[in-house]
Amino acid sequence: MDSRAVQRASYISIAVGALICAIKFRGYYVTSSQAIFTDALESIVNVVAAVFAAISIRQSLRGADSDHPYGHGKLEYFSAAFEGGLIALAGGIILWESIPAIFRGARVSNLNEGLLLVFISAILDLLLRFYLKSLGKKHHSVALIADGSHVLTDVYTTVGLLIGLVIVTLTGFTILDPIIASLMALWILYTGMRLMIQSYDRLMDKTDPQLLMKVCDALRSNKKEEFIIPHKMRVRESGNRILMDTHLVVPSYLTIDKLHDLESDLEIAISEELNRPVDLLLHADPCIPEYCKLCSMKKCPIRFEEQNKNTGWSADELSRDISHPFEKKRRKR
């Protein structure tokens, strides 16, 4: 992960967001359009959220310490949740302002100039969105991805605003202006709530099926003959870092040195394949005769029967909870 590139992107988001906000308020000033005012208010939220995202990114890039042994990566999820809350709050305020305007009527002027300003802001929003989203995915930055999603919401609302204002210009139905603002507010509310739910899931370490499949693929491609049956695998994210632990049945005669080397090699291989830092904790279960039929060790000194079955190492198999006979004995005690 290029920390400088991620931090630079967060600063660019603040600068471009402030410019877009200024353009939209200029559009509201020359037109008195309630819909443009709605879009401008959302842009204020964008700037505030971008500032908070930049702070959280700076803090989350700090390494682990004695007080935070798992690092500071989860701060990005708080940033995304905060941003979602701000988006929802903006949507509620906009709805509160725009609905009364439908009944009291609306006045708009200089729509041609307003349309030009809104169009320029939409282009800037779109370019910023692609920049943040692509960089966020490349460096696995949840805060940048959330910021990009927020900007994409701004693009949608601005495009909807443009279409509405064009209709107002062609028809002269100014009452459409606050109606458009209300519809935009509902979309903004939905987006903010969705972002908060996604952040909650990340904070609660909800299983990410896509990440789980990538980890399973990496395990399969780096399988060693000493790996008999993996199970109880758990995977979660902390910023750009993947934290995973799994139980693995291995030949009972392996030395501690060999087990350590296998774990280190596997951690490095998965990290390289996923292009992300990985912390792997491997719990080794010693094999027993009933596992011989699944074991692919070619020269095993304690084999009771030949291998006659294969495990697929699917996500379900890797995540299943199998109690090893030794664990059952411990539980009885």
- Residue 78's contacts (CB-CB under 8 Å, 6 or more residues apart) are 56, 199, 203
pLDDT at 71: 66
The answer to whether 34 and 101 have CB atoms below 8 angstroms apart is yes
Domains of the chain: 3-203 (1.20.1510.10), 209-332 (3.30.70.1350)
Beta-carbon count within 10 A of 318 CB: 24
H or E element that contains 22? helix 3-31
pLDDT at 68: 66
pTM above 0.95, yes or no: no
**Size of the chain, expressed as the number of residues it contains:** 333
CA angle 228, 234, 238 (to 5 degrees): 135
The answer to whether 143 and 133 have CB atoms below 8 angstroms apart is no
The residues of the chain scoring below 70 in pLDDT are 1-3, 59-76, 101, 104-110, 140, 142-143, 146, 149-150, 239-240, 307, 310-312, 314-315, 317, 321-333
* Structure-token match 């000194």, residue found: 301
**Assigned token pair, 11:** 């600063």
pLDDT at 311: 67
**Helix, strand, or coil (residue 320):** coil
pLDDT at 11: 85
The answer to whether 157 and 184 have CB atoms below 8 angstroms apart is yes
C-alpha dihedral, 141 to 89 to 92 to 28, nearest 10°: -80
- pLDDT tens across 228-241, in order? 878 888 888 776 67
- pLDDT tens across 83-139, in order? 778 778 877 877 777 777 677 665 666 677 877 888 888 888 888 888 887 877 777
pLDDT at 333: 47
Phi-psi domain of 313 (left: phi exceeds 0; alpha: psi -120 through 50; beta: other)? left
d(CA 239, CA 237): 6
pLDDT at 296: 77
